[in-house]
Structures are given as C-alpha cells and as structure tokens.
Amino acid sequence: MSFWLDIVVATPAHSSVAGPLTYESESALSPGQLVRVPLGRREVLGVVWAVRADAGTLAQDKAKTVRGVLEGIAELSASWRALIGFAAGYYQRSLGEVALAALPPQLRELDTLQLARRLKRKSGDDGQTGPAPERPMLSQEQEAALQGFAGADKPALLFGATGSGKTEVYLRAAEEVLQADAQAQVLVMVPEINLTPQLQQRLQDRFAHLGAGRVVALHSGLSPAQRLKSWLAAHSGQARVVLGTRMAVLASLPGLRLIVVDEEHDPSYKQQEGARYSARDLAIYRARLESQRLAAQAGAPGAAGERSCRVLLGSATPSMESWQACLSGRYLRLDMRRRIGAAAGDSGPEVKLVDMGQQPRGAVLAPPLLQAMAERVGRGEQSLIFLNRRGYAPVLACHDCGWKSQCPHCSAHRVFHKLDRSLRCHHCGYADPVPRGCPDCGNVDLAPVGRGTEKLEEHVQLLLSDLRRPDGSPLKVGRIDADSTRGKGELQAQLDQVHEGQVDVLVGTQMITKGHDFRNITLVAAVNPDGSLFSSDFRAPERLFALLMQAAGRAGRKAEQGSRSQMWVQTFHPRHPLFAALQRGDYPGFADTELQERQAAGLPPFGHIALLRADARSQELAQDFLRAAAQAALEAGLPGGERVSLYPAVPLTLQRVADVERAQMLLESTSRPALQQFMAAWQPVLTELRRQSAFKPLIRWALDVDPLSI
C-alpha cells in the first residue's frame, strides 16, 4: 500500500514548480514531517505539506518516492506552516523557497546517522532550576507600561526614550509569560546581534534559574552546527527564550506566547534579498495566527484558561507604520519618556545646531564644536563623532585631466582607503592598490575628494593634538567602523577600550550610534547629515531622525554628572523642521508632519507599494522587460488591476552593480488586497514573459512587497 503526499522542497521562486510536489511514500506520514526526497538528480530536504487521497493528475508510474524521514524531529506545527504559507503568498515567493530558507542549512546536509548523533548529543540541560535572580525595582513608568501591556488585547508599541529601561520591560513581560505556562516560549528580536552583546548576557542571567540551555541565540553569525542546535532547541521546546535577528521570526516555536521586537523601526528587519519579508510585520501576523490557534484550542472541551500570543514592539523613534497603527487604535501605545535615574526636569541632551554657512569655509568641524570637544577632553569625558562614510575619501581624482576613481563594474566611485593605500568599491568589493600616477595622464598628484571616517580620524587627531588629558597624557582618538572591526572579536575589543576610558574621541559610522551603552560620553556630533534631508528616498527623513535621536541617546547616560550632555548637528539647513523637532526631542511632532506628507503623497502607511525589479546586462533589456510586464498585465486585465497604478520603468539610483544593470517599476494602490490580488495574478504572466526568447538573457526579476525605499 502506498500513500500520496504533497511535499515542499527548495524550488526557485519563479520556476514552474513553485507549489508543493507530489510524492509517493510507503509509510503513512503527517504534515510537518521532514523528509528526504529526490529532485532531479539530487536528494533534497522537504517538508510534508499535505496528505493526499490519491496521486491526482500525476501519472502513477512517474511518481517518485520519499527516500527517508528525519526521525527524531517532531512535525512542524500547523501554525508554522500557516505562517510560511502566508509569508510566501504575501511576499510573492514560492512556498518551498520560504519554508526551506526558514530551516537551518545543516538539516539539508547531514545524513540520517549524523543527525541522529546530533539529536542524541546532550544539550547540557541537567533539569536543575535555581533560585530566582535579583531584579531591579521597576520605575513608575515601567510599572505602568507593564500593566498596560498585560491588559491589552492587541499588539503594543513601547514608545520609550533611550535609557528609559525598555529592556527591563521586555524581561518582565517575558518572565510573566514563562511563569504562567511551563511550555511557553518567548522570542526576542533585535536588528543586529553584534551590536547588542549585553542583551544576550542579560537574558541569560535573568533566566538562568530555568535551567541550562533555556536561552538560545538564532542569527546568521552562528556556525552551521550552532545554528542547528539552537533551532532544534527552539523546535523541541527546550529553549524557552530565543534571541534572534530577523530570520528568527520564521523559527519553529511550538510554545510561542510572546514576541518582542526591539528597535522595531530598524531597516535591518527587512530582508533585502530572496523572500524580501519584514520580520516586524511577520511578527504581528504570527502572533495573530498563534492566538487564533490557542483560542480554538481553548474552545475545545477540557481546555482551560485564556491564552494568546502577544507582541511587544519597542522603539524611541517608531516606524511611521507602527506609529500610525497606534493613532488609528490598531496598536496600543505605552509611553516611557524619562531616562532611568534622570532627575525631574532632565529632558535629555541639549541639541546644538551649527549653521555651517556661518563657519569658516571648508571647515570640517566647526570651531565651537572643537572647543566643546576640547573642554570634554580636559574634564576626562568622552566625545563621539559620526559620519556615515567609511574609508579615507569617497573619491580619488586627478585635477589635471578629470580622472576619477570610478569602479569599472559599478556606477559608483571607488573609495580611497589610506591605511592600506587601496581603492575599494563598497558595492561589488572590487579593489586594487592606488595607482602611482593618474591612469589617464600620468599625473602623480592624485587628490582625495570628500571625507570618510579615516580622514576624519586623522583630522581630529591633528586639530586636537595639543590637548592633554587631566593626567597629562596625550589625547587618544579611536575609530570604529566596518573596516576597523573586520576581524572576529575586534568590535568587542574596541568597545571595551572605549568603556575603559582609553579613547577620548571616538570617530565612527552610524554603527557606533546603536545599542552600546557608553557611560562616559557626554558629547555626540553628527558631522554631515544633510544628505538625507533632500533625498529622493521617501523614508530618508524618518531614518535620519531616528539616527540622530539614537545618537543623542548615546550622550549623557552618565547619571551623576552635573553638566548637561550635548548633541551637535552640523548643517547648512539649521531651520529645517526636522532639526527643530530633534531639538525639542519631539518625535510625535516629527511623526505628525511626516505622516501628513506621506498621506498627501499616497505613500505608506497610507498607500501600499511594491516594486517589480529586473536585472540584466543592459539597462535597456531590464527596462524592456518591465515595460513588457506592464503591457502584459494590461492586456490580461488582471484582477485588482483597476486599483493598481503602474509607474514608468526607471533605473535604480545605483544603476549598475558588479556589471549588472538594475531597473525597477513602482506599483501603488490604496488597497492592499487589490495590490496583493494583482501581484498574485501577475506572477505566472511574468514567468511566462521571462520565457520569451527576447528575455532569455535577463538575469532575474523579483517583486519587492512593501519596499523600504523606492
């Protein structure tokens, strides 16, 4: 006797076999089981999706047979499968692609024997539980936030200033859930784990009493073996707390009762390739799914109690999407405006705007800012200066003939790195040594144009070289950016130096504005943030505001100091309303203005957008494909089409990367369902179009739903 199964495997997004495939099996299997099946000439990992009554349209003699079952791994739950189904549908990718990408890669590689060994390996859990840990007394605001959260029946947004103690609220909310139910699991998501090493430790300390191995991390920085181990711990329910990056939102968590999304506004929650999902949005959806399932169970005879899965988003500068959801009542807003330990009336760092139009021409750092930094050094306090450009200079140029350090493979300049005298493309990685002379005219006097963090570091060192610390030793300037922290452990080592007070002035990219809790920094400066004020990217102001607020939050965490800490912003547009809102520390005011503009322009969160993107060797071909796609949609009269506007095909701002020409077309609708319906119907049309001989040379196309930038 044989059984028929629908099984999902890692099929590419746009192949004609995007759905589950039908296989035969000698034993009865259930949905959610992991299996190995033949695909072409390979044997691949698959997930049983459904049990069929028969072979369907598949000729029985063509049927392929399940080769093996991954014994010892419990079925993936119905709600996990529903989540994957939703994500694949919403983000217009194949089920198999999303499902298999959500599983640890090593599951695909290990054979049955190796896997059995892994499963047997002791997890280190000795079943011992310890005494409950010490916890700080909650502040009034924390208390109120937790009460509000406990009483709400919808997603909550913790709108909390930097240093207001959001983490403690997460910990308490988690504690409550874990105590109430011995099977409960909590997922805590962060944008980037490297930037928050303290958080993992705090979770571990707080939940150590639950037994060893109850807190695990899940992110792409883990080794394949570690990742499998964490995933299995989450899937088996052994792990009670999972700390992860965006990928963790798709982990199997059978007891999930709470999802925390810290820094929910952070762009890293949006995956930028493959299935371009938003982990924050999926968290909301996932909690709803889980809650529905729990409610259905509770309705069943014998079940007791009201159980659900909750979501807690947190940010000092929420995304416009989440803020609008609070305004419209879909989410509950919980406010924590005060820093822990701040005196009454302390409204955070003082924001000083420097009108660069009034400063000496060409000044990199305005004299009053330098003066303020010098004072800090004299007092033994630290300053942090950030500039979002690594390297020495963004361009190297010949002033005789006009040659510039263009990347031969991208529509971008290569950046001059002085430390190793290289020209490096930050988009494709192409690098070689700085030429002795101009490649075009031989002029040996090539000049760096513009400024990156390396040059800023050099500059600060030079300008402040006469200064002495209180103990008479010379001043030390440090730099933290992607270049200075390439090696393993380097970031931590450099952060430690800052914490130990070995660095007086820290120069870096926005990397240093995130997460770290620098106690002794009392001055933060943004050297050149103007680029984002007039960017064509509609989210640029939102991001700039978040970045500056976050940076300001780095200053003056030192509670005992008498003088007020400062945030300096150098700008040629000191009267820009964004800066005025920053000066007042007024995120709600900024959001009001921003949301009005978005609404007027029909942009998210009011309008709904997606991008059809095409990559090809020539820009013409990429755009031709997009135009043909629009034409085909029109001719086919796709459902939802009357409510979707298609804009003309345009090159991306960064048009060519690694010799690939990139183009895109914007889709916009006031109705999310109409846009969804339209894209779902468009998919097969696009797949078909791609097969036409004219489009054979196309490299790829993809839909990006709810893109971050357009």
Q: Give dist(CA 686, CA 701) in Å, integer.
A: 9
Helical H segments across 23-73, by residue range:
none
Instruction: Please give the residue ranges that form the binding site for Zn ion (CB under 5 A).
Output: 398, 400-401, 403, 407, 409-410, 425, 427-428, 430, 438, 440-441, 443
The beta strand positions in 618-669, using DSSP E, are: 644-646, 650-657, 660-669
Closest Cα to residue 407, out of 655, 682, 158?
A: 655
Among residues 514 and 608, whose Cβ is nearest to ligand ADP?
Answer: 514
Cβ closest to ligand ADP, residue 8 vs residue 547: 547
Q: How far is the CB of 482 from Zn ion (least distance, A)?
A: 16
Shortest distance in whole angstroms from residue 664 CB to ligand ADP: 36
Closest CB 543 distance from ligand ADP, rounded Å: 19
Minimum CB distance to ligand ADP smaller for 160 or for 349: 160
Strand segments, DSSP code E, in 184-235 are 185-189, 215-218
- Sheet strands side by side (includes 422-424): 415-417, 422-424, 431-433
Among 17-25, 146-154, 157-165, 216-224, which window interacts with ligand ADP (CB under 6 A)?
A: 157-165
Whether 685 and 256 have beta carbons less than 8 Å apart is answered as no
Taking the complex as a whole, how short is the minimal distance between the CB of residue 167 and ligand ADP, in angstroms?
A: 3
Tell the smallest beta-carbon distance from residue 136 to ligand ADP (Å).
3
Looking at the Cβ atoms of 168 and 264, the one nearer to ligand ADP is 168
Contact of residue 430 among ligand ADP, Zn ion, none (CB under 5-8 Å per partner type): Zn ion
Nearest residue to 187 (alpha-carbon basis) of 246, 255, 259? 259
Query: Binding partner of residue 572 among Zn ion, ligand ADP, none, CB under 5 to 8 Å per kind?
Result: none
Q: Side chain identity at 65, as an amino acid letter?
A: T
Using CB under 6 A, pick the residue from 162, 196, 383, 676 that binds ligand ADP.
Answer: 162
Contact region for ligand ADP (CB under 6 A) — 163-171, 226-234, 464-472, 578-586?
163-171
What is the distance between the alpha carbons of residues 548 and 544, in angstroms, rounded to a whole number? Answer: 6
Q: Which does 403 bind (CB under 5 to 8 A by kind): ligand ADP, Zn ion, none?
A: Zn ion
Task: Give the residue with the Cβ less far from ligand ADP, 168 or 281.
Answer: 168
Which residue in 139, 196, 322, 405 binds ligand ADP (CB under 6 A)? 139
CB-based contacts of 251: which residues, under 8 Å, 6+ apart? 102, 187, 218, 231, 234, 235, 242, 244
Residue from the set 20, 46, 155, 160 that interacts with ligand ADP by CB under 6 A: 160
Q: Is 317 in the site for ligand ADP (CB under 6 A)?
A: no
Under the criterion CB under 6 A, does residue 571 sit at the interface with ligand ADP? no
CB of 414 to Zn ion, least distance (A): 7
- Identify which of residues 303 and 658 has a Cβ nearer to Zn ion in the complex: 658
Residue closer to ligand ADP (CB basis): 199 or 446: 199
- Lookup: tokens for 45: 């990992």
Question: CB under 8 Å, gap of 24 or more: what pairs does 625-632 form?
Answer: 625/663, 625/689, 625/690, 625/695, 625/698, 625/701, 626/663, 626/664, 626/665, 628/689, 628/692, 628/694, 628/695, 629/665, 629/682, 629/685, 629/686, 629/689, 629/701, 630/665, 632/685, 632/686, 632/689
Please choose which of ligand ADP, Zn ion, none residue 431 contacts, taking the beta carbon within 5 to 8 angstroms, the exact cut-off set by kind.
none
- Which of ligand ADP, Zn ion, none does residue 166 bind (CB under 5 to 8 Å by kind)? ligand ADP
Query: Least Å distance between CB 208 and ligand ADP?
Result: 17
Using CB under 6 A as the binding rule, whether residue 565 contacts ligand ADP is answered as no
Rank residues 201 and 618 by Cβ distance to ligand ADP and give the closer one. Answer: 201
Binds ligand ADP (CB under 6 A): choice among 164, 291, 319, 571:
164
| CA angle centred on 614, ends 609 and 615, rounded to 5° | 140
Contacts with ligand ADP: how many residues (CB under 6 A)?
15
- 481 lies in the site for ligand ADP, by CB under 6 A: no
Q: Which stretch binds ligand ADP (CB under 6 A): 161-169, 426-434, 594-602, 603-611?
A: 161-169
Question: Which one of Zn ion, ligand ADP, none interacts with residue 160, CB within 5 to 8 A by kind?
Answer: ligand ADP
Residue number, 422 or 443, with CB nearest to Zn ion: 443
Residue 699 CB neighbours (<10 A): 13
Which residue stretch of 131-139, 425-433, 447-455, 465-473 sits at the interface with ligand ADP (rule: CB under 6 A)?
131-139
Q: Comparing C-alpha atoms, which of 169, 186, 170 is closest to residue 178? A: 186
**List 6, 75, 141, 168, residue binding ligand ADP (CB under 6 A):** 168
Q: Which of 22, 25, 79, 142 binds ligand ADP (CB under 6 A)?
A: 142
Q: How far apart are CA 156 and CA 80, in angstroms?
A: 22
401 binds, among ligand ADP, Zn ion, none (CB under 5 to 8 A by kind): Zn ion
Binding mask 340-379 vs ligand ADP (x if CB under 6 A, - otherwise)? x---------------------------------------
Please, which residues have CB within 8 angstroms of residue 25's CB and are 6 or more apart in sequence? 2, 3, 4, 5, 35, 65, 66
Asked whether position 191 contacts ligand ADP by CB under 6 A, the answer is no
Rounded to 5 degrees, what are φ and ψ at 207?
A: -110, 15
Which of 104, 163, 318, 348 is in the footprint of ligand ADP by CB under 6 A? 163
Closest by CA to 626, choosing from 652, 654, 604, 658, is 652
Q: Which does 400 bind (CB under 5 to 8 A by kind): ligand ADP, Zn ion, none?
A: Zn ion
Least distance from C-beta 23 to Zn ion, angstroms? 44
In 3D, which of 300, 323, 296 has the Cα closest to residue 308? 296
Q: Is residue 541 at the binding interface for ligand ADP, with CB under 6 A as the rule?
A: no
Q: Does 540 bind ligand ADP (CB under 6 A)?
A: no
CB of 434 to Zn ion, least distance (A): 14
Residues 6+ apart with CB under 8 A from 487: none
Closest CA to 182 of 218, 210, 206, 208: 210
Closer CB to ligand ADP, residue 5 or residue 511?
Answer: 511
Question: 160 or 452, CB closer to ligand ADP?
Answer: 160
Token readout for 498 is 């800052």
SS3 289: helix
User: Which one of ligand ADP, Zn ion, none is in contact with 428 (Cβ closer than 5 to 8 A by kind)?
Assistant: Zn ion
Answer whether 658's CB lies under 8 Å from 576's CB.
no
CB contact at 8 A, 210 and 125: no
CB atoms within 10 A of CB 495: 22
- As a whole number of angstroms, the distance between CA 632 and CA 636 comes to 6
Q: Which of residues 498-517 bind ligand ADP (CB under 6 A)?
A: 517
Least gap, CB of 144 to ligand ADP (angstroms): 12
Rounded Cα distance between 26 and 69, Å, is: 11
What contacts 24+ positions apart, CB below 8 Å, involve 583-588? 583/351, 583/353, 585/161, 585/347, 585/348, 585/351, 585/549, 585/552, 587/159, 587/316, 587/317, 587/318, 587/545, 587/549
Measured distance CA(649)–CA(221) in Å, rounded: 37
Whole-number CA gyration radius for the chain: 27
Residues that bind ligand ADP (CB under 6 A): 136-139, 142, 160, 162-168, 340, 517
